[in-house]
Chains A and B, each alone.
Chain A
Amino acid sequence: MTETPAVNDIGRRRFYLTFIYGLWGLMTAALAAPALVYLLLPPKVRGGTEWVDAGEVSPLQPKIPVERVFRKNRIDGWKITSENETAWVVKFPDQKIVAFGPQCTHLGCAYHWDEGTSEFLCPCHSSVFSLDGAVVSGPAPRALDRYDVKVENGKLLLGELRESDGKNA
C-alpha cells in the first residue's frame, strides 16, 4: 500500500514538528538557564564587612612599616575558616595609616621591607614598591593592594582588601 501525503497530512506534520521542536526548546531553556545561573553567578555572601583587630595604633612609628599578623574568618563555600593573615602597616607623618596586602601584585609572592633602601622588595621578580605602595620598578602591574582601615579606641581595625588600580599609590 502506498501513501500519498494529502495536504491535510502535510499540515498535521508541520503542526507536530512545531510542537516537538518548540516544547523541547522550552524545556532545554528551562533547565539550561538555572544551570548556568547556578554555576556562574557568585553565591550570596552574607552581607557586610567584618572588621578585625590588627593591634594597637600607638606603637606605630612614622614611615616605618610593620608587619602585623591578625586572625580573620575566611568564608570558603560552606566552611568558615579562621586563619592568620598579615598586613604591612605604615603610619605617615600626617597620622594617616595605610595597611597593604602582603602579596606582590605581580604573581603573589610575599614581599618584604628593605630597611637599607626604604622600599618594599619582592624576592621573586624584583618588583620594587615605595613606602606608599606605588610601583618603583619591576614587572608589578599595579601598586600594592590596601585594606580598608579604621581606628577605634586606639585599635587598628582592618576591613576588606581592595585591589589597587594603576601603578601609582
Chain B
Amino acid sequence: MRWRDRVIFWLDHRTGVETAIRNFLYEDIPASSGWHQVFGSVALFLFLVQTFTGALLAFNYAPTPGDAYNSLRYIMAEVTAGRLMRGLHHWGASMMIVVVVLHMTQAFLYGAYKKPREATWIAGVFLLLLTLAYGLTGYLLPWDNRAYWGTVVTTAIAAKAPIVGPYLVRLLGGQGNIGVVTFARFYGLHVLLLPPATTLLIAVHVYLVRKHGVAPKLGDETQPSKKFFPRQAFHDTVAIFIAFVILFVMAAAVRVPLERLADPTDTTYVPRPEWYFLFLFQTLRLFEGPLEIIGSVVLPAMAILALILVPFIDRGRLQKVTQRTFAAAVVGLAAIGWTGLTLAAIHTTPKPLIPVEIDFSQPTDWLQLSPVEMAGIGYFREENCISCHTVGTGKPTIGPDLAGTAIHKSGAWMIQHFKHPAAMVPGSPMPAIQLSDAQLNTLAAFLLKLNPRNAEALQSAPEFAVAGALLYQKNQCGVCHAANGIGGKLGPPLNGLRRRRSQVWIEKHFRDPQALSRGSMMPAYKFSASEMQDIVAYLFVLPDE
C-alpha cells in the first residue's frame, strides 16, 4: 500500500471517517435529480459563510450600546478587509433569505413535502423562521439610528400580541425603551442561541432527507437511481459558486449602510425594517385601531400555520410539476402579494429630510469643521492643489506635504504666499493663486486645520457639504449665525436646525424670511434649485451638539 492509502486506512479503521464520507457522497438519488435541487446546498453554504464572517466580526466588535457603533466603524474604516467582512455578513443575510425561500418554493412546487416527507418540510419551515430571527436580532447590532428605530417598531409589534405580548416584550428586555438589556438579549440570541439551534435543526433536516431519500419525480421509479457524487455534487458546487460570486461582488462593491449613532431623541427619523420584512410592515398598516392585531399577530401566525400544515392539506398522489397548477397559482399569488406589499411600503416611505446620505462608516471629522474651513476645502479642490502637494499620505511631489505642521505659518503669511509664492519662499515654482483676499483667507483657514491625523478624514468631506459651505461663505451667513461654534449671535445658531425645522420650512424661509419669522432682520435669498439643495443639506448635516 502507498503511504497515503495507509494513512487513510489507519484513520478509517480507527474513526470510520472515510467510510462515512463515502456513504454520504455515494448516496442514491432519483434519476430526475438535477439543477432544480441545488438550493438546499446553497442555503447550507451561506449559513457556513455567515458563521465564519460572524465569528470574525465578533473578534473586533464590542457588544454593548456604548461601544457597538464605534467598534463597527473601527472594523469598517481601520481594520484591513473589515469592510469586506461586514459586507459578506450583511449581504449574506439577505441572500440567505432569498435562497431559503427559493428552496422552499422548489420543494412546494414539486410537492416534495408529500408522505413520508412531512417532517422534513416542517423542519424546513422552522429553519425559515430561524433565518428570519437572525435578521431581526442582527438588525439591532450596528446600533445606528436605523437599527435602533427598527427595533423600537419590532418590539412594539411584539407587545401587541394578545396575552403573551407583555411577557414577550419583557423577555426581549424592551419595556418602554430599547437599551442595554434589549441589546444584550438580541446579541445573546444572535450569537449564542440561534446558531446551535440552527445547526441542530439542519442536522435533523439533512438526516430526514437522507432517511427518506431525495424526493423523486413521477416516473423515477422505473429509472435506475444515480449517485450524488460526482454529478449532483457538481451541480451543487456550480450553484454555490454562482451564489458566492454574487455575494462577494456585492460585499466588495455595494455600500453597507451605517447611519448616525442611535439617537432615541431623534423625532425626525422614519424607521423602516429590512427589505424582507417590509411586506409585514405594510400589512400592519392595512389594519387600524382594534383591527391592528389582525395584521400584527393573526395573519403572520396563520401564514406560519398554513406553511406547517401544507403536507397535511395536500395529501394527493405525486403529480408532474406541470400538472400542479394549484401549487403554481399559490406561489404566483404569494409572489404578487409580496411584491405588491413591498413596493407599496417603499413607495410610501417619506423621503429622508437630508437629501443625501452621509457614510458614517468613514471618518467624519469634516463634520466638525467651521463653515470657513469647509469652504476652504472647496477652493482647495477648485485650485487643484493636490496636483503638486501631498496631504498626509502618498508619494512626495513637487510641493511640500500640506499636512506637515512645519509649513503651518500664520494666516497672513499664507495669504501673502498664495499671492506671491516666490516672494515668501525663494525659488518656489508654485503659481500665484487668483482668488480674492476673502477666498484666500478661507483656503488658509482649511490648510491651518490640517494635520497628519485628520488629513484623510477632512478630504473625504462630501461635495454637497463643501458646495453648501461655499454658498454659506459667499452669502456671509456667518455674520449673523453661528455654525459649529463659529459666527455671529444675531440670528439663532444653526446646529440642530434639523431638529427644529423641516426642509420645506427652511426653503420657504430663505425666500421670504419675514413671512415665517415676523420681525426677522434676515434678507431674502434667491437660490437656484441645486444651490438650495446644497445649502439646506449642509445646514442639516451640522452636528446637533
Contact = CB atoms under 8 A, between A and B. Distances in A.
B74 A37 contact: no
A158 B84 CA distance: 37
Contact of B77 (A16, A44, A77): A44
B234 A47 contact: no
A59 interface: no
B452 interface: yes
Interface in B453-468: 453-457
B127 interface: no
B79 to A, nearest CB: 5
Interface in B178-205: none
A37 B83 CA distance: 12
Interface string B364-395: 00000000000000000000000000001100
A31 B241 contact: no
A48 B85 contact: no
25 contacts: A16-B231, A16-B233, A19-B237, A19-B238, A20-B233, A23-B238, A23-B241, A31-B49, A35-B85, A37-B80, A38-B82, A38-B84, A39-B56, A43-B78, A43-B79, A44-B78, A46-B452, A46-B454, A47-B392, A47-B393, A47-B456, A48-B403, A48-B452, A77-B71, A79-B67
Specify which of B81, B231, B392, B452 lies most central, judged by the most chain A CB atoms within 10 Å of its CB: B81
B248 interface: yes
Interface string B229-270: 011011001101100100010000000000000000000000
B123 interface: no
B451 A48 contact: yes
B349 interface: no
Interface in B25-82: 49, 52, 56, 59-60, 62, 67, 70-71, 73-74, 77-82
Interface string A5-36: 00000000100110110011011001100110
B225 to A, nearest CB: 11
Contacts of A26: 241
Interface in A107-122: none
Given A31-B49, A47-B452, A78-B62, A20 B81 contact: no
B224 interface: yes
Contacts of A50: 453
B474 to A, nearest CB: 32
Given A30-B248, A34-B84, A20 B74 contact: no
Given A43-B80, A77-B60, A17 B70 contact: no
Contacts of B234: 16, 19-20
A27 B242 CA distance: 11
Nearest to A36: B81
A86 B141 CA distance: 39
A46 B237 contact: no
A79 to B, nearest CB: 7
A31 B81 CA distance: 11
A39 B85 CA distance: 11
A17 B234 CA distance: 8
Interface of B: 49, 52, 56, 59-60, 62, 67, 70-71, 73-74, 77-82, 84-85, 224, 230-231, 233-234, 237-238, 240-241, 244, 248, 363, 392-393, 403, 451-457
Contacts of A46: 78, 363, 452-454, 456-457
Contact of A16 (B52, B67, B230): B230
Contacts of B454: 46
A38 B80 contact: yes
B85 A34 contact: yes
Given A17-B230, A38-B82, 20 more contacts: A16-B230, A19-B237, A20-B230, A20-B234, A26-B241, A27-B241, A31-B52, A34-B84, A38-B79, A38-B81, A38-B85, A39-B59, A44-B77, A44-B78, A46-B78, A46-B454, A47-B403, A48-B452, A48-B453, A77-B71
A47 B453 contact: yes
A-B pairs, 5 with minimum CB distance: A48-B452, A78-B74, A16-B230, A34-B81, A16-B234
A37 B392 contact: no
B59 A24 contact: no
A9 to B, nearest CB: 10
A3 B223 CA distance: 13
Nearest to A75: B78
B84 to A, nearest CB: 5
B82 to A, nearest CB: 6
A31 B454 CA distance: 32
A38 B56 contact: yes
A30 B244 contact: yes
B68 to A, nearest CB: 10
Most B CB within 10 A of own CB, among A37, A49, A78? A78
Contacts of B62: 78
A40 B74 CA distance: 15
A82 to B, nearest CB: 15
Nearest to A23: B241
Contacts of B78: 43-46
